[in-house]
A and B are shown apart, each in its own frame.
Chain A
Amino acid sequence: MRNRETAGGSSTSPTLTQVFWGFVTIGLMGFGGGLTASVRREVVSRRGWLDDRQFLSGYALSQLVPGATNVNLAVFIGSQLRGLSGALVAFAGLTAPPLVIMLSIGALYFHMQGNVGSAWFSLALTGMGAVAVGLNLGTGIRLARRNIRRLVPFAIMTVVALSIGVFGLPLLYVLAVMMPLSLLLAWLSRQR
């Protein structure tokens, strides 16, 4: 498992078809808050297109650029793998099947508004939502175990996680402070 997970890097550049189907899988497996988990699982663990560090940089940049994070991440990864066409097929793969599913559920909803089955439906949704949160946290644990080895990065990770996730500070303010700080510390430690 460790070998497979560290195999990453862009040693073998996937074809456009592979990029497309990879992101179709990601989109269909990624529910609620679990979409980032789905991206990492497919792109890093299962297919080895990127290593963790490349993935994490893409994730940070995708948060920094306005817009939906995981859609940005798909465009970023597709572009790293296969340029403009890679970005386009990654976007199409991620959004097209969920788009069809969502429009169908939406049409169904307006067709049978207030039906009896809706209580069961919402219970099942709650259960899946609870799992999606777990997928997110589980991905965080995996990433931390493999990439956060020193005290300073650990402290930065903790401050970001708690200030935004628990104390609800606006992401933009936290990043405005923590990004320059983290850049400075990484630059100072570059010789070691």
Chain B
Amino acid sequence: MSQILVQLASLFVVLSMLAFGGGAGIIPDMQRAVVDQYHWLTAREFLDMFAISRAAPGPGSLIVVLIGQKAAGAAGAAVSFVAMFAPSCIVIYLVSRVWHRAGKSAWRDVVERAFAPIAVGLTFASGFALLLQGSEHSVAAYAVTAVATGAFALTEINPLFLLGGGAAVLLLVGG
């Protein structure tokens, strides 16, 4: 048991440090490790865990607690959670203190102006990437995405209505 906990901890510490630009990029490596290498989950179970983590509210990277739970129960979930988030949170916290101390300095102003277009570009990039993952996007789903994009960009509508509406449309159309 304690051996599994060590394996979970080292796997998720390493993966979190490789997750540049967010958690989505490490999913294939995670799948290889937990399915093929350690056999904690079957391939089917992993895909279902992934779907649940995308659909449940909150950060998708919480998929690690589902894997930890399956591999080693509550202790596994706890170890996976800490391993996934503690190292990166410490790094971003240190960055944020440097940033805070820079206050209204000239270099921070330059960096802010330089980062703004990159960050907006990254927002679009993550949307495009999800859109082009393709297989799960039917005509109805594309229409739902288009309507949601327009409604969210132009109105003050509560996103929960959009999410409920999107689920309802797909259930009515049947895909």
Residues of A that sit less than 8 Å from B by CB: 1, 27-38, 41, 52-54, 56-72, 75-76, 79-80, 84, 87, 91, 94-95, 97-99, 101-103, 105-107, 109-110, 120, 122-144, 147-148, 152-154, 156-166, 168, 171-172, 175, 178-179, 182-183, 185-187, 189-190
Residues on B with C-beta less than 8 A from A128 are 55, 163, 166-167
Closest to B22 in A: A69
A79 in contact with B93 (CB, 8 Å): yes
B55 in contact with A179 (CB, 8 Å): no
Residues on B with C-beta less than 8 A from A75 are 89, 92-93, 96
Residues on A with C-beta less than 8 A from B22 are 63, 68-70
CA distance A79 to B130 in the complex (A): 30
Interface of A is mostly: helix
CA distance A154 to B110 in the complex (A): 17
- With A125-B54, A187-B110 known as contacts, the answer to whether A60 contacts B118 (CB < 8 A) is yes
Interface centre among B55, B118, B146, B175 (most CB of A within 10 A): B118
Is the C-beta of B85 less than 8 angstroms from some C-beta in chain A?
yes
CA distance A158 to B123 in the complex (A): 11
Number of contacts between A and B (CB, 8 Å)?
A: 379
Residues on B with C-beta less than 8 A from A103 are 65-66, 69, 77
A124 in contact with B130 (CB, 8 Å): no
A157 in contact with B117 (CB, 8 Å): yes
**A-B CB proximity, top 9 nearest:** A98-B58, A67-B88, A134-B148, A160-B121, A165-B128, A138-B152, A127-B170, A165-B125, A131-B166
A86 to chain B, nearest CB (A): 10
Is the C-beta of B33 less than 8 angstroms from some C-beta in chain A?
no
B57 in contact with A62 (CB, 8 Å): no
- With A63-B22, A67-B88, A79-B97 known as contacts, the answer to whether A156 contacts B166 (CB < 8 A) is no
B128 in contact with A130 (CB, 8 Å): no
A190 in contact with B110 (CB, 8 Å): yes
A158 in contact with B121 (CB, 8 Å): yes
A57 in contact with B137 (CB, 8 Å): no
A66 in contact with B130 (CB, 8 Å): no
